[in-house]
C-alpha cells in the first residue's frame, strides 16, 4: 500500500486541507468531544501527532508543562504558528518533531499522554502504544479520541475496508478501519473509560469515534 508518495505531495496536500475539512466537524460538535477528553489532562503532559493543533485550546492550567509532538514538517509549521500566536493556558510548552513509535523521552516522565485521531495514521500502532506506556508514570493516564472501524458485520465497516487503500493515499497514511480498542486492550495499559460516538459532519469513513482513558498500572 502506497502510504507516502516519493515527493511527499499527499502529506503537503493533507496539511493544507485537513484543518479546513476538520474545521467543519469541529464547529458542528467535534470541539466539544475534544474538550471532554483533553480537559482531563494534568501535570506533565505529552501530545502525540498533534497535527495543526485542534486539541490545544482544550488544555487547562492543570497541565504544568506540555510537550507537543508531530512528525510531519508541514504540520509542525502550522503548530508553531498556532502556539506562538496564542499558547494554551498551561505552565509551559515545547514543540518536538517526532513520531510516536520512538519517543525521545525517558521512561516514566509524563503524568498524561493525549492523542486526537492519530492511531489511524501511525504505521505501527502497537509500537506507539508501547512507547506511550513506557513514557507514562505508573498511575499516569493516556487520554484518546480516535476514529475507528465500524463494528464487525456492519456495511460501513466493510466499506472502510474496501476504501482503505485510496483513503491511505488521499489522507496521507490514514487507515479508516483501525481497530484501536483491540490495540489498547492488547497493551499493558488498563482501559478505564471508553465511549463510542460519531464525529459530526464528517466523511462516513471517519465517523465512528472512540474516546476514553487508559491507565498505566501503578
Ligand X SMILES: C[S@@+](CC[C@H](N)C(=O)[O-])C[C@H]1O[C@@H](n2cnc3c(N)ncnc32)[C@H](O)[C@@H]1O
- Binding residues for ligand X, per CB under 6 A? 22, 48-51, 54-55, 70-72, 75, 99-101, 116-118, 121-123, 173-174
* Closest CB 194 distance from ligand X, rounded Å: 18
Question: Given the complex with ligand X, which of 17 and 186 has the nearer CB atom?
Answer: 17
Question: Given the complex with ligand X, which of 98 and 190 has the nearer CB atom?
Answer: 98
Taking CA 52 as the corner, what is the angle to CA 203 and CA 165, rounded to the nearest 5 degrees? 40
* Closest CB 31 distance from ligand X, rounded Å: 11
What is the number of the residue whose Cβ is closest to ligand X?
Answer: 51
Question: Given the complex with ligand X, which of 103 and 189 has the nearer CB atom?
Answer: 103
Residue 102 in contact with residue 131, Cβ under 8 Å? yes
* Closest CB 153 distance from ligand X, rounded Å: 26
What would you report as the CA-atom Rg of the chain, rounded to the nearest whole angstrom?
16
Q: Count the neighbouring beta carbons within 10 Å of the beta carbon of residue 107.
A: 9
Question: Given the complex with ligand X, which of 119 and 155 has the nearer CB atom?
Answer: 119
* Closest CB 53 distance from ligand X, rounded Å: 7
* Closest CB 159 distance from ligand X, rounded Å: 19
Cell digits of residue 66? 506540555
User: From the centroid of its chain, how far is CA 204?
Assistant: 18
Residue 172 in contact with residue 134, Cβ under 8 Å? no
Tell me which DSSP letter residue 150 carries. P
Q: Which residues contact 12 (CB under 8 A, 6 or more apart)?
A: 74
Question: Given the complex with ligand X, which of 79 and 189 has the nearer CB atom?
Answer: 79
Amino acid at each position: 500500500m502506497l502510504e507516502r508518495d516519493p515527493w511527499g505531495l499527499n502529506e503537503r496536500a493533507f496539511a493544507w486541507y485537513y484543518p479546513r475539512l476538520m474545521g467543519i466537524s469541529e464547529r458542528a460538535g467535534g470541539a466539544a468531544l475534544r474538550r471532554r477528553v483533553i480537559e482531563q489532562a494534568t501535570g506533565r503532559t505529552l501530545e502525540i501527532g498533534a497535527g495543526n493543533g485542534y486539541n490545544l485550546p482544550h488544555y487547562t492550567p492543570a497541565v504544568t508543562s506540555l510537550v507537543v509532538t508531530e512528525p510531519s514538517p508541514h504540520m509542525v509549521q502550522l503548530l508553531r504558528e498556532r502556539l506562538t500566536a496564542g499558547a494554551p493556558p498551561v505552565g509551559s510548552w515545547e514543540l518536538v518533531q517526532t513520531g510516536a513509535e520512538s519517543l525521545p523521552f525517558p521512561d516514566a516522565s509524563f503524568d498524561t499522554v493525549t492523542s486526537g485521531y492519530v492511531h489511524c495514521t501511525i504505521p505501527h500502532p502497537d509500537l506507539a502504544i508501547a512507547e506511550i506506556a513506557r513514557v507514562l508514570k505508573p498511575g499516569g493516564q493516556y487520554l484518546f479520541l480516535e476514529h475507528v472501524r465500524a463494528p464487525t458485520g456492519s456495511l460501513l465497516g466493510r466499506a472502510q475496508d474496501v476504501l482503505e487503500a485510496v483513503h491511505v493515499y488521499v489522507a496521507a497514511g490514514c487507515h479508516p478501519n483501525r481497530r484501536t480498542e483491540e490495540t489498547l486492550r492488547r497493551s499493558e495499559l488498563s482501559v478505564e473509560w471508553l465511549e463510542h460516538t460519531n464525529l459530526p459532519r464528517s466523511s462516513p469513513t471517519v465517523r465512528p469515534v472512540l474516546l476514553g482513558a487508559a491507565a498505566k498500572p501503578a
